[in-house]
């Protein structure tokens, strides 16, 4: 991806996503501080619609983030599937077609 790579792994019995950020992602003092602040905020969030933050290593040349693994692919893939579903023509359920034909 643009920011780095994501791999599926296991940690303490959980399926996790291991995000290796590109080495140039957090270069510079401001970018590094922004990353730390973002991770601090994420680590405090608890909501069923937000992926759970589990940990990070930011001292390495390329930072690594550990978070809850979500099935279904990347957000880009999820949105692509949704767009494809919207393009499909609407087809009424067969049971409704039969019921409608009886009303005629």
Mean pLDDT value of segment 94-100: 78
Q: What b/e sequence results for 46-66 when a residue is b if at least 16 CB atoms lie within 10 Å of its CB, and e otherwise?
A: eeeeeebbbebeeeeeebebb
Task: Indicate the pTM of the whole model.
Answer: 0.68
pLDDT tens-place string over residues 54-85: 999 987 678 999 999 988 877 788 888 888 88
Q: Domains of the chain, with CATH numbers? A: 4-103 (3.30.200.20)
Cα–Cα distance measured from residue 63 to residue 73, given in angstroms and rounded to the nearest whole number: 22
Q: Write down the pLDDT at residue 1.
A: 60
Whether the predicted pLDDT of 8 surpasses 80: yes
Mean pLDDT value of segment 9-17: 95
Q: What is the dihedral of CA 93, 94, 98, 100, to 10 degrees?
A: 20
Mean pLDDT value of segment 9-32: 85
Q: Write down the pLDDT at residue 104.
A: 57
Q: Write down the pLDDT at residue 26.
A: 65
Q: Write down the pLDDT at residue 85.
A: 80
Residue identified by tokens 């005629």 is 104
Phi, psi of 79 (to 5 degrees): -65, -35
């Amino acid at each position: 991806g643009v920011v780095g790579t994501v791999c599926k792994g296991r940690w303490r019995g959980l399926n996790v996503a291991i995000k290796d950020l590109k080495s140039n992602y957090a270069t510079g003092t401001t970018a590094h501080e922004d990353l730390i602040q973002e991770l601090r905020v994420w680590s405090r969030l608890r909501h069923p619609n937000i992926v759970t933050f589990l940990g990070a290593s930011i001292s390495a040349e390329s930072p690594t983030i550990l978070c809850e693994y979500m099935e279904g692919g990347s957000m880009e893939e999820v949105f692509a599937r949704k767009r494809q579903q919207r393009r499909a023509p609407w087809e009424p359920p067969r049971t409704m077609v039969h019921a409608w034909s009886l009303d005629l």
